[in-house]
Amino acid sequence: MEFNVRRLAADASTFLSRAVQFTEEKFGQAEKTELDAHLETLLSRAESTKHWTEKIMKQTEVLLQPNPNVRMEEFLYEMLDKKVPMRANNHELLGESMIDSGHEFGPGTAYGSALIKCGETEKLLGSAEKEFIQSSAINFLTPFRNYIEGDFKTISKERKLLQNKRLDLDAAKNRLKKARVADARSAELNSSPPLAEEYVAHFSYMLSILHVRWLKLWAEEVQQAETELRIAQSEFDRQAEITKLLLEGISSTHAHHLHCLNDFVDAQAAYYAQCYQYMVSVQKQLGSQIVIFPSTFSNNNQPAGSSSASISVPTAQPAASLPAPPPSQTSPALNELRSTSGTRKARVLYDYDAASSSELSLLADEVITVSSVPGMDSDWLMGQRGNQKGKVPITYLELLN
């Protein structure tokens, strides 16, 4: 018990000394030991790393889970060390609604079948999103969080300890300075003492003698203050080296975070590539079911050459099953082209992959030159792009004026 009381008293004395030193530094009444430039640079770099790591973590969490209520719920489950319950994401909910409505309208109908196919694709997108979120959380967010909650906490602890050692060092310097000043004043007053018979007459000097004796107490502490200063300087230097070693590890942290960033980018690339494959697949399935309806849904006042089709078909349809030309292609412009055997410019509406060497592959939105060849099927024209020639389907073209 005696040991604990003494230790408590020593800790209280140290805390009071640090508080006094810190206050005097703030008011400019005490000198402050400055850290070397390299250590200051490392400290600034650590603070910058901590700031931006937290910001990147926060924005990544928002990206992976935009709903703040769900983020808060997941945080509470994590704090309680409980497993987060599985729930369907937005893609999966949309997919289930599409599948249910498709079965309601009838899987045998074009619309019902399309809804079911889209719903299945949306569920696949939802599964891919879950895999991406899980991969990002493990390979990207977890290492960042471990740095904030582990390595940086250790750095902060050692940095705080370094600050305390610096305050102890400066306090020791001030004590030594005061002790030396007291010793100098004591020597000055004792250099010319008055005669013995004059002691009574000089009562004020008697008080000075008492003051000198008190000052000698400071002089006796010079040696002790020097010893304390050497100890404080040694502890400060040792703590500075420990802190510097920890701060130099920031470079390794950056290298590790770079590796995690590469994993995050790879996960994003795989996720978006998988989503693209799913959407291209369902787009092809829906494109094979497109029916060109009569012109009752289009504006009869549209100029010749305009097209009412608005869905991009990613794959070519076989020549035997090409859709009938839209009304705009049976205009006088097309009849004139066939009768004069001249050439016209045409804009490609959809991508088209040539089925044989006699056909010409097309890219949506490109402009080619077309002409009519006698004896050619009425659903086809001869297309030319530079030195390339081949048959092209009329249904994929929009004649330009």
Asked if the model's pLDDT at residue 188 lies above 80, the reply is no
278, 361: one domain: no
pLDDT at 308: 37
pLDDT at 210: 58
Of all residues in the chain, the percent with pLDDT exceeding 90 is 39
Q: Which residues pair with 384 in a beta bridge?
A: 369, 389
Q: What's the whole-number mean pLDDT along residues 66-89? A: 75
For residue 24, tell me if it sits in a domain: no
pLDDT at 324: 45
pLDDT at 154: 93
pLDDT at 254: 95
Backbone angles phi, psi at 357, to 5 degrees: -70, -15
51, 158: one domain: yes
- Structural domain including 371 reads 332-399
pLDDT band at residue 329, thresholds of 50, 70 and 90?
very low
pLDDT at 65: 83
pLDDT band at residue 6, thresholds of 50, 70 and 90?
low
pLDDT at 175: 81
Tell how strand 343-348 and strand 397-399 pair up.
Answer: antiparallel
59, 183: one domain: yes
For residue 307, tell me if it sits in a domain: no
* DSSP H stretches of helix in 65-150: 68-79, 90-105, 110-136, 142-146
Q: What's the whole-number mean pLDDT along residues 48-69? A: 90
Structure tokens at 381: 């024209």
Q: Measured between alpha carbons, how far is 216 from 206 in angstroms, rounded to an integer? A: 15
285, 384: one domain: no
287, 337: one domain: no
End-to-end alpha carbon distance in the chain: 104
In the DSSP assignment, the letter for residue 362 is B
349, 282: one domain: no
107, 181: one domain: yes
Q: What's the whole-number mean pLDDT along residues 279-289? A: 83
Asked if the model's pLDDT at residue 325 lies above 70, the reply is no
Q: Measured between alpha carbons, how far is 316 from 323 in angstroms, rounded to an integer? A: 11
For residue 303, tell me if it sits in a domain: no
Contact assessment for residue 305 and residue 345, using Cβ atoms and an 8 Å cutoff: no
pTM equals 0.58
Backbone angles phi, psi at 309, to 5 degrees: -75, 135
Query: Per the structure, how many domains does the chain have?
Result: 2
Alpha carbon 138 to chain centroid, angstroms: 14
- 70-79, 181-190, 218-227: lowest mean pLDDT where? 181-190
Asked if the model's pLDDT at residue 148 lies above 80, the reply is yes
Q: 140-159 in b/e burial notation, b at 16+ Cβ within 10 A?
A: bbebbeebeeebbeebeebb
- 9-13, 33-37, 327-331, 378-382: lowest mean pLDDT where? 327-331
Higher pLDDT, 301 or 172: 172
Structure tokens at 315: 């794959």
Q: Measured between alpha carbons, how far is 45 from 51 in angstroms, rounded to an integer? A: 10
Q: Match 């080619």 to its residue by tokens.
A: 368
Q: What's the whole-number mean pLDDT along residues 41-70? A: 90
Asked if the model's pLDDT at residue 267 lies above 90, the reply is yes
Helix, strand, coil share (%) of the chain residues, nearest 5 = 65, 5, 25
Selection from 146, 158, 130, 123 nearest residue 65 by Cα: 130
383, 269: one domain: no
143, 263: one domain: yes
pLDDT averaged over every residue in the chain: 79
CATH number, domain of 395, equals 2.30.30.40
| Residues contacting 284, CB < 8 A, separation 6+ | 314, 315
pLDDT band at residue 299, thresholds of 50, 70 and 90?
very low
Higher pLDDT, 170 or 342: 170
Asked if the model's pLDDT at residue 155 lies above 90, the reply is yes
The segment with the largest mean pLDDT, out of 3-17, 223-237, 260-274, is: 260-274
Question: What pLDDT, in 10s, does the model give residues 88-119?
Answer: 888 999 999 999 999 999 888 889 999 999 99
